[in-house]
Amino acid sequence: MRLSDLRGRSVAVWGTGREGRAAVIAVAAHGPASLVAVDDSANFLSLPWDGALAQAAPLHIGQDGFEHLAAADVVVRSPGVPQTHPWLVELRSRGVFVTSGTALWMADHAARTVGVTGSKGKSTTSNLISQLLAAVGRPNIFGGNIGVPLLDLPAADLYVLELSSYQCSDLTDSPRVAVVTSLFPEHLDAHGGEREYYRDKLNLIGHGPETIVINGTDARLVAEVGDRPAVRAAMPDTFHVAPGPDGVPYQFAGDQPLFPRSVFPLVGRHNEGNLCVALAVLDALGVDCVAQREVLAEAAAGIQGLPHRLAEISDPSGVVFVDDTLSTSPYSAMHAIDAYDGRQLTVIVGGNDRGLDYTPLREHLAQRQITVIGIPDSGERIVEQLRDLPSVRTELADDLAAAVRLARKLTPADGVVLLSPAAPSYGRFRNFEHRSEVFAQAIRDTATG
């Protein structure tokens, strides 16, 4: 279904965050017979619904909203509405057509789009693709889950999009190049289980993409993709990192050395894999990466980490504070912890408790000397799983600001304080940006000297 197909139909937009607001404006411009907005979870964090939004779509909140959804020809679901929501299950059982702003947009733009998803690495990889393409003379628009709803994007010849599992699940069109960076259990409460999560995530590659690119070192991802034709990046026959001509690690394209790994400033083995995937995407789009090696090396050297993803914050004390608030699972926190291997590390964990199994994090920290501070809601449960590990110091704090104060007391001047929550932000914060703002403010409020 395209946006133009909504003309003359009754439409309900479910959700009033960024995606819902963008959907209301976009749908209203296509002449629906009627248009309403529904928010069943309005609370003190909700933004005002007024002005042009209220004129375009009257808002119905709370339990009253279901009947307005059920009466619509089409429901446009915001990504924050989980697949397991009882209303969504009932709407589908009644035959109500449910789509999303992402699916509506993709129906019109798939042929000009690189879509990137993954349980970890999608933000960094999509950013890498966008910047490297621009460096070789392929301008593009960057958006999606990174903060700009697709329906708000300007017209362009090429798009690079970061897409969450929530955004992928309703797609009926795959992007021209469909990219998956990694796969591990995530957001299980919102999808209904591990199998359902994988199904929704891999829906990105399920509708005839021209090219599929995956990280070939991710065993679970490789198994789930199976025998579908795909470029398996980070493997020796494609883009990978290996000892180069002088014995130091090099970025390779097959057997051709491109540039030293040290050129690329982002830390961690996982970021090596992200760069390999990004280069494989450029190759799929017709970029001669060997011929452009010098341009790509210069561009890779200038890559800056994304806000909220292993973003370092300077502090007069000498402690390095790191904002990794996009970390929403134990696996992503494990990668972040690995990036600071060998440093005195205090990590702050906890957020919305989706019932995730934190056993992998426990196993990962079993031989490490580290301090872990848990914050609500899941922090107490995470800390409890780690409490008896001999080299792990565990503490609890009432909130994120209190955790920063405690971290300052526990972390030596040459140490690192890492916010890698291993849990989503919602519940106590409007979104991940809000959590990041609170972290940064707490750092400023507690700084001395």
123 carries a ligand binding annotation = yes
Tokens of 30: 């296509």
420 carries a ligand binding annotation = no
Cβ pair 234, 272 in contact under 8 A: yes
Cβ pair 192, 225 in contact under 8 A: no
409 carries a ligand binding annotation = no
C-alpha dihedral, 185 to 186 to 187 to 189, nearest 10°? 30
Rg (CA), the chain: 22
- Alpha-carbon distances, residue 68 vs 36, 73, 74, 311 (angstroms): 8, 10, 11, 43
93 carries a ligand binding annotation = no
AA letter at 449: G
At residue 435's C-alpha, the angle toward residues 432 and 441, to 5°, is 140
Distance CA 382, CA 349 (A): 8
Q: What are phi and psi of 60, to 5 degrees?
A: -120, 125
C-alpha dihedral, 40 to 44 to 49 to 50, nearest 10°? 150
Distance CA 128, CA 213 (A): 14
Sorted by sequence, the CB contacts under 8 Å of residue 134 that are 6+ apart come out as 140, 299
At residue 249's C-alpha, the angle toward residues 244 and 250, to 5°, is 60
Distance CA 331, CA 290 (A): 33
- Beta strand 177-180 with 159-162 is unpaired
- Alpha-carbon distances, residue 411 vs 115, 312, 319 (angstroms): 40, 16, 7
At residue 47's C-alpha, the angle toward residues 44 and 49, to 5°, is 120
- How many other CB atoms sit within 10 Å of the CB of residue 2? 14
- Beta strand 97-100 with 74-77 is parallel
121 carries a ligand binding annotation = yes
**How many CA atoms lie within 13 Å of 161's alpha carbon, on the beta-carbon side?**
33
Q: What are phi and psi of 228, to 5 degrees?
A: -65, 140
**How many CA atoms lie within 13 Å of 14's alpha carbon, on the beta-carbon side?**
31
Roughly what angle, to the nearest 10 degrees, separates helices 269-284 and 293-301?
140
Residues annotated in a binding site for ATP: 118-124
Known binding residues are: 118-124
